[in-house]
Amino acid sequence: MDEAQADFALNLLRAATKGDESAIISPFSAAVALAMTYVGAEGQSDEQFVDYISKLLADVNSADKGVTLDTANRLYVEKNFTLLEAFLKIIESHFAGQLQQVEFKQKKAVVHQINSWVEQQTRDKIKDLVRTE
């Protein structure tokens, strides 16, 4: 699985940048977000996949002493989508994640909400993660 993770990280970086652009991305966060989305899109989850991501999150969050590593996971979903209770429980229990329903038509408000949450979760280290463009 480590080789697959490395391939994913490199492909994500290539897709996120053009030419000599600089970028900072988190393949781990992207993978967790994709996993959370996968669970919701399928309506049921592949138990091995969910267990793997859940254990990976637990390992990451229990890093060596002297190292501080906090993770925060949140999916933003269109307000008019109906979310199944089972999906919400999986997101909370397996991914330590949250779901936030928003109206994506209100782009500026959603961008502000996302950026404020990210800034708060990262203790002001990441600002303006997303833009309306």
Please report, for the chain, the start and end positions of each structural domain, with discontinuous segments joined by +: 2-102
Identity of residue 72: A
Read off the DSSP letter of residue 63. P
Per residue of the chain (133 residues), give pLDDT as tens.
Answer: 567 767 777 777 777 777 777 767 777 777 777 777 777 765 555 666 667 666 766 766 665 666 666 778 898 999 998 888 888 888 888 777 888 999 999 999 999 999 999 999 999 988 998 988 7
DSSP-assigned states of every residue in 81-131: ----HHHHHHHHHHH-EEEEEE-TTSHHHHHHHHHHHHHHHTTTSS-----
pTM reported for the whole predicted model: 0.63
Instruction: Name the CATH superfamily for 2-102.
Output: Antithrombin, subunit I, domain 2 (3.30.497.10)
